[in-house]
Amino acid sequence: MSTANPSLQSAARSPIASLLESRLLFLLARILLTLPFWLSGIAKVVDFNGATAEMAFFGLNPPVAYAIATIFTQLVGSALVIQGRHAWLGAGALAIFTALTIPIAHRFWAVEGEMAMIELFFVIEHIGLIGGMMLAAILCHKRG
């Protein structure tokens, strides 16, 4: 049992608690979490031919339809998470999208040596990003 003065403990935690409860920090966190998606979506819009070629490279046919679906998922999903309303839908779409990229683009089990390790690292990062999307959905739901 702590014998410290509760008002002193409260005062010591106050700046951190204020920061963690800040709407601005929560918004910044959502922007940063979705950064890989909205940057990729914008890059695909700017270079749509490159986006289509990327889909064809991974065997996704028709590549134009997959490029459009990818751009839509990345930009709309990010917008929903950043906005905070219906964030569960955006986070869920981005998490599923991220999970699907693993067997399509990061097949670490199908390559050898250093390339296998690089792809495995991408997979691990993707799994962490999926966890981040889950947390974003939970926090947006709890904060209303």
Q: What is the pLDDT of residues 44-83, one digit of tens each?
A: 999 999 999 999 999 999 999 999 999 999 999 999 999 9
List the chain domain ranges: 6-143
User: pLDDT grade, residue 144 (50/70/90)?
Assistant: confident
pLDDT at site 37: 98
pLDDT at site 7: 54
Residue 8 pLDDT exceeds 90: no
Cα 91 to Cα 83: distance, rounded to the nearest angstrom: 11
Residue 3 pLDDT exceeds 80: no
Cα 139 to Cα 117: distance, rounded to the nearest angstrom: 33
pLDDT at site 14: 83
What is the CA angle 67-74-93, rounded to 5? 110
